[in-house]
A and B are shown apart, each in its own frame.
Chain A
Amino acid sequence: MSAKNLFLNSGFVRAPLQNGVGRYVCQLQRIVLKFCKSHGGSRGMRDFIEQDLVDFAKHHPGVVVYLKPRRHRSPVIVGEYLNGDRVWMNVHNKTHEEITKWIEVLRTQQGDIASVRLRKYQYTDHPSIQGPWTPFTFKDPELNTAELPSSKFGANNRLPMSATEQLRLMFEKQKISTKTEDLKIAE
């Protein structure tokens, strides 16, 4: 996803309150199921409430479940999280299975993660383990015992190769090649 979405907040992958370092806390604190008792659009929601809701509440006692029947309106799930996020989800015409899965999604996420654009898929407070670079960081250990001034460490090796040097190298190369040719002929 790109950064052109003006109203989409960006963020990093973070666990709220170091969750899991000490003990795990389910981040979904309450869930409100709004539905109609007679409308067909709420059929799946009513099935879920009849068959699975009690088990859900039993298995997750840390989540407060509220039911809010309202006449002839679309079924809606609202999840509220410990970090203050609120997720509103329309489940009109959704089947029982779909609603079960969506509620599982709401329960296992840590906040309104769909409304955050991740800048990266990893995060660290300390990007460098070595610390800041200094001129001494990658110093050649040979320098410790060298006697200065030395021609090896004092040589200016930053200048480009001069034309004379290039000619000299070409001459040397030529000499080597002629030597090998002579050898071949001798064989």
Chain B
Amino acid sequence: MALIRRFMPLFSKVMRVYPITVQSQKIHRWVAPTLMELKRREDKLGGKKTYPRNTYLEWNLEAELFAFGQRLNEDFDPDLLLQAFTDRSYVIKEEIQQKKMGIDIKMNDNRELAKKGEEFMSHYIKTYLESVLPKFPPEGIKGVLKHLTSEAVLANISLHLGTKDIILASQYPVEESILANTFKAIVGVLLETSAEERTGRFVRDFVITQLQGQDINEFWQIDDPWSLLNTFVEKDGGKLEPRLIGEVGKNTLLACYQVGLYIDRKMISSGYGETVATAKEMAARAALKKIFGTEDHMKPIDFKLEGLPKTASQTRYQISAS
């Protein structure tokens, strides 16, 4: 004991010179248990509640609607725009509430506007694609149109135009179908308030530009490219001739074959694959891309066409292999 007492000052001196410190941020021991307890209580009351933006104190629907039009550089009719943002589910919810309170105020939902907008949109996009991709067959155009007017794409556009908070719906956050429907309705409103040409420009700027950086061929699945190519070539009076122009690593795991397609001893395309059959199919696909004008190195699609493109289904460029 005496020994300890004697060396105590020395010990404390050493402690002072070499402080044993932990180099980390101090978080009190009570923080984690408290947060856990708070979370437990929150879960007991039914989980975390998120309030939609339009229930905040700083919310002015009129200002939001005005800014929506200004942001997109369009003149909307404010009443029609509000109607476009009113979903069917909201109207049903309101009617039930009004019945309870004994009042009756008529409300319009956006179904009709959406239908009008959808019709215009599909027609416009179809004619636009036909004039921009003159050699692409109608089935392919249909595939691209289906992609562009699909719910996911339209909902994404709608979300990025800022409709999410303005939409009047029974439940928040709003579903994808409601977002897509609202976008169609907005096109419908534009069609009512301004000329078709202006509406077309709106659709061009927000929907068709979604093709930027995409491979057009991916939207049309060709099951049998060989026979499709054959019909095109035979129509022109040519005869298709596949030739094996390269093979490497035969009978190994890394086998690679290259097949070239010839018409009149002139090569039109080549493809490669791990078997001769896949190489032939790839060659046929490459030839089809060449015929359709949608090769990998095609010019980017023109997103600046002015006015309404002509419906030129009859005068469309006749597809030929030559």
Chain A residue with minimal CB distance to B206?
A22
Q: Pick the contact of A82: B63, B70, B160, B210 (CB < 8 A).
A: B160
Interface on chain A toward B: helix, strand, loop, or mixed SS? loop
Q: Summarize B's interface: helix, strand, loop or mixed.
A: mixed
Measured between beta carbons, the chain A residues less than 8 angstroms from B67 are: 29-30, 61-64
**Is the CB–CB distance between B73 and A23 below 8 Å?**
yes
* A168 part of interface (Cβ distance < 8 Å): no
B57 within 8 A of A: yes
Indicate if the CB atoms of B246 and A136 lie closer than 8 Å: yes
Write out the residue numbers on chain B whose beta carbons fall within 8 Å of the beta carbon of A26. 71
Choose among A23, A25, A30, A129 the residue that contacts B297 (Cβ–Cβ < 8 A): A129
Chain B residues in 8 Å Cβ range of A134: 256, 258, 272
Q: Which residues of A contact B249 (CB under 8 A)?
A: 135
Tell me the minimal C-beta distance from B199 to chain A in angstroms. 14
Known interface pairs A25-B161, A64-B67, A129-B297; A18-B209 also in contact (CB < 8 Å): yes
Interface string of A23-38 (1 = CB under 8 A from B): 1011001101000000
Name the residue among A16, A23, A63, A83 with the largest chain B CB count within 10 angstroms.
A23
> Which residues of chain A are within 8 angstroms of B246 by Cβ–Cβ distance?
135-136, 139
- Which residues of chain B from 61 to 109 have any CB-CB distance to chain A below 8 Å in the complex? 63-64, 66-67, 70-73
The answer to whether B160 and A17 have CB atoms under 8 Å apart is: yes
Assembly CA distance A60 to B206 (angstroms): 21
B175 proximal to A (CB < 8 A) = no
Number of A-B contacts (CB under 8 A): 77
B248: Cβ under 8 A from any A Cβ = yes
Verify A22–B70 contact, CB threshold 8 A: no
A-B contact sample (14 more), CB < 8 A, given A61-B70, A125-B213: A17-B210, A18-B209, A22-B205, A23-B73, A30-B67, A62-B71, A63-B71, A66-B59, A82-B160, A82-B162, A84-B159, A84-B164, A129-B297, A136-B248
Q: Please list the residues of chain B having a beta carbon within 8 angstroms of any beta carbon in chain A.
A: 53, 57-60, 63-64, 66-67, 70-73, 156-157, 159-162, 164, 204-206, 208-210, 212-213, 246, 248-249, 256, 258, 272, 296-297, 303
A: which residues have CB within 8 A of B?
16-18, 21-23, 25-26, 29-30, 32, 61-64, 66, 68, 80, 82-84, 125-126, 129, 131, 134-136, 139
Identify 29 residue pairs between A and B in the complex whose beta-carbon atoms are under 8 Å apart, listed by A's number.
A17-B160, A18-B212, A21-B209, A21-B303, A22-B206, A22-B208, A25-B71, A29-B71, A30-B67, A61-B66, A61-B70, A62-B70, A63-B71, A64-B60, A64-B67, A66-B58, A66-B60, A80-B53, A82-B160, A82-B162, A83-B159, A129-B296, A129-B297, A134-B256, A134-B258, A135-B248, A135-B249, A136-B246, A136-B248
- Sort A-B residue pairs by CB-CB distance and give the 6 closest, nearest first: A22-B205, A62-B71, A61-B70, A66-B58, A17-B160, A21-B209
